[in-house]
Structure 1
Amino acid sequence: MAPSTPFLAVDLERMQANIARVADAATARGIALRPHVKTHKTIEIGRMQVAAGAHGLTVATVGEAEVFAAAGLDDLCIAYPLWIDADKAARLSALAARGAAISIGVDSVEGVQRLVHAGLAGRVAVRVEIDAGHHRSGCAPAAAGEVASAAMRAGVDVEGIFAFPGHAYAPDARAQAAIDEAEALTAAAASLRAEGIRPLVISGGSTPSFAASLELDSPVTELRPGVSVFGDAQQWELGAAEPEQIALTCHATVVSHAGGRLVLDAGSKALGPDRPAWATGNGRLLDHPDARIVQLSEHHAVVEMQAGGASQTSALPPLGSIVRAVPNHVCTAVNLVDELVVYDRGDDPVPAARWRVAARGRNS
């Protein structure tokens, strides 16, 4: 029996096809995969990704690393410039003592020094984060050698470099973001080599830039897509996912036809609140491609079935019917729920399983 709406549902057939498609594309180019599990936070899915060929997983926090390592998925990169405090140092040391292979991000000499003073040299490796055009964290490519050299002198193993081309999350930006990333990583790798350091790993990637990255003559040896496992309304709108590849939806009940529009029982506390400036709505309906969620409250989603607003009530999905809403940003939606309801296929009437979102809320 399915739970009461709203709930997040996984189409297992589609998700497995997404995992296989990404793995096959990377393998064909001889590029390693380290998918980012902050998207799904779920052990069962992480195991499927490794079984499909991923040589390790990417996480965002120490807490996520702890959850996946405890399940035996313990080749982990924390792709974040951690500022090490006593708590994080103790937890990372415990992971290393249990045999987990952990690398963490650094983007400054000060970050390296913090790691060394915490006694983590020889316990964890580092990857130097590069700003490839997203202008969030990451050092300038030319500074990568300085950061890596500081780590090596302090006895810290340097695996290589990584970047995140987050500026690919914009219309018509995917190809240029991949080019920017390739150029930044090329310059950063040269900076390390100038210091006598060979970058064993040159890591990049995002879901929107994934296909473009594979087409380039790039130094990248590893890619870290996350959202590709499910897809979401952002990827649909950017052209990085087709509707038939969307593998996670929020099942929501039509509770009102007020104003000639649908009102669903899934608001921001089920779908997540994200809406980039370029998005055409707060989410979409999988089975009604022209529909847009135009208003989002905590427990209400107002949907216009077509551009221009109100429709005839007779043309609307009936009151009490269930529709499949596609969140704008699937990562934030998953972090709002305790479990994912799994269907072998999206149109099956009865769920096949329920998976705990094991790393939900592990934000530190």
Structure 2
Amino acid sequence: MRPSTPFLAVDLERMQANIARVAEAATARGIALRPHAKTHKTIEIGRMQVAAGAHGLTVATIGEAEVFAAAGLDDLFIAYPLWIDADRAARLSHLAAAGAAISIGVDSVEAAARIARGGLAGRVSARVEVDAGHHRSGCVPTAAGDVASAAARAGIEVEGVFAFPGHAYAPEGRETAARQEAEALRVAAASMRDAGVPPQVVSGGSTPSFAAALALDSPVTELRPGVSVFGDAQQWELGSTAPEQIALTAHATVVSHAGGRLVLDAGSKVLGPDRAAWATGHGRLLDHPDARIVQLSEHHALVELPGIAPDDLPPLGSLVRAVPNHSCMAVNLVDELFVFDRADDAEPSARWRVAARGRNA
């Protein structure tokens, strides 16, 4: 039976094609793939990604790592500069004792010391995070050797170096961000080699910069796209996902034509509130490319369809497929995903629990 709207739906055929396309592109360049599972937070999807050739998964938090490791997906990189306290040390130690291979981010000498003081030397490995131009976290590339050598002196295995080119999330920014990331990682890897801690893994990537990174002469040995599994309205607008590749939508019902617009029953509590400054709306409609969600409240989405007369609007009670701006945010708002083998199927074939939902620490 089709559930009542609103709900998040996965087009299985499209998602599997997305997983295969990304895996094949990385393999063709001899680059390992470690997709970011914070996008889907779902065991079934993680298993599909590994079965398609991913060397492991990336996560954002220890909580996400615990969920995936418990399901046997236990080759995990926590791509975050963790500040280790007693609770985090105990949880990471438990994961290691259970046989999980865990690597964590570090971007300062002080943070490396905290890893050692937490008793994690020999239990987890570390990757040095460098700032590749996004200016969020990460040390400057020339300091990577200092951080790596401090960790190594403390008995911590230093697996490599990583960056996140988040500034690729901007119009016309993908190629520039990929080039800046490649240069930052090249400088960081040289700094680590000079310090006597050569990186075994040089990791980068994001969904918008993925294709550009593959096209470069880059030191990258691993890429970590996340949103590529689903796509979303941001990727559609950036040009890194075609509309026919979007595999996650919010199924919503047209409940009103007030003001000559569509009013949908899917608001910010389903679609998520994210809207970049450059975005043309709060989301889009997959089957009406010119439509934009122009106003969003908790349980309402107001949609304008340019050039369509009021009498020609999708009728009251009809179903539309809304594309969230940010699929990661939308997934974290629901308990389960409804899986349709193909987009035109009348009923879902499966319901997948969003197992790592809310595991933010």
* Residue 196 of structure 1, CA deviation: 1.1
The answer for the alignment partner of 1:104 in structure 2 is 104
How far, CA to CA, are the matches of 2:188 and 2:91 in structure 1? 30
How far, CA to CA, are the matches of 1:340 and 1:362 in structure 2? 17
How far, CA to CA, are the matches of 1:216 and 1:306 in structure 2? 40
1:256-282 superposed Cα distances (whole Å, 9 cap, x missing partner): 000000000000000000000000000
Task: Give the secondary structure class of the aligned counterpart of 1:40.
Answer: coil
Instruction: Give yes or no for the alignment of 1:152 onto 2:119.
Output: no
Task: Give the secondary structure class of the aligned counterpart of 1:122.
Answer: coil
Correspondent of 1:333 among 330, 335, 341: 330
How far, CA to CA, are the matches of 1:20 and 1:329 in structure 2? 22
The 5 Å alignment of 1:305-320 reads: 305-306=305-306, 311-320=308-317
How far, CA to CA, are the matches of 1:268 and 1:193 in structure 2? 47
1:202-258 superposed Cα distances (whole Å, 9 cap, x missing partner): 000000000000000000000000000000000000000000000000000000000
How far, CA to CA, are the matches of 2:315 and 2:100 in structure 1? 52
The 5 Å alignment of 1:248-327 reads: 248-306=248-306, 311-327=308-324
The answer for the alignment partner of 2:351 in structure 1 is 354
Q: Which runs of 4+ in 1 moved over 4 A?
A: none
The answer for the alignment partner of 2:134 in structure 1 is 134
Q: What amino acid sits opposite 1:245 in the alignment?
A: Q
Task: Give the secondary structure class of the aligned counterpart of 1:48.
Answer: helix
How far, CA to CA, are the matches of 1:200 and 1:194 in structure 2? 14
* Residue 197 of structure 1, CA deviation: 1.2
How many correspondences in the alignment?
361
How far, CA to CA, are the matches of 1:153 and 1:91 in structure 2? 23
How far, CA to CA, are the matches of 1:85 and 1:258 in structure 2? 53
The answer for the alignment partner of 1:77 in structure 2 is 77
The answer for the alignment partner of 1:115 in structure 2 is 115
Q: Which moved more, 1:191-200 or 1:201-210?
A: 191-200
Q: What amino acid sits opposite 2:125 in the alignment?
A: A
Task: Give the secondary structure class of the aligned counterpart of 1:217.
Answer: coil
Correspondent of 1:343 among 320, 337, 340: 340
* Residue 312 of structure 1, CA deviation: 2.6
The answer for the alignment partner of 2:210 in structure 1 is 210
How far, CA to CA, are the matches of 2:305 and 2:266 in structure 1? 16
Q: What amino acid sits opposite 1:318 in the alignment?
A: P
Task: Give the secondary structure class of the aligned counterpart of 2:119.
Answer: coil
Q: What amino acid sits opposite 2:117 in the alignment?
A: H
Task: Give the secondary structure class of the aligned counterpart of 1:340.
Answer: strand
The 5 Å alignment of 1:5-24 reads: 5-24=5-24
Task: Give the secondary structure class of the aligned counterpart of 1:155.
Answer: coil
Q: What amino acid sits opposite 2:267 in the alignment?
A: G
How far, CA to CA, are the matches of 2:131 and 2:306 in structure 1? 40
Q: What amino acid sits opposite 2:133 in the alignment?
A: G
How far, CA to CA, are the matches of 2:343 and 2:101 in structure 1? 36
Unaligned 5+ residue runs, structure 1? none
Q: CA RMSD in A?
A: 0.6
Relative to the length of structure 2, the TM-score reads 0.99
How far, CA to CA, are the matches of 1:216 and 1:265 in structure 2? 44
Identity over aligned pairs, percent: 81
* Residue 85 of structure 1, CA deviation: 1.1
* Residue 350 of structure 1, CA deviation: 1.1
Unaligned 5+ residue runs, structure 2? none
Task: Give the secondary structure class of the aligned counterpart of 2:287.
Answer: coil
How far, CA to CA, are the matches of 1:132 and 1:216 in structure 2? 15
Task: Give the secondary structure class of the aligned counterpart of 1:45.
Answer: helix
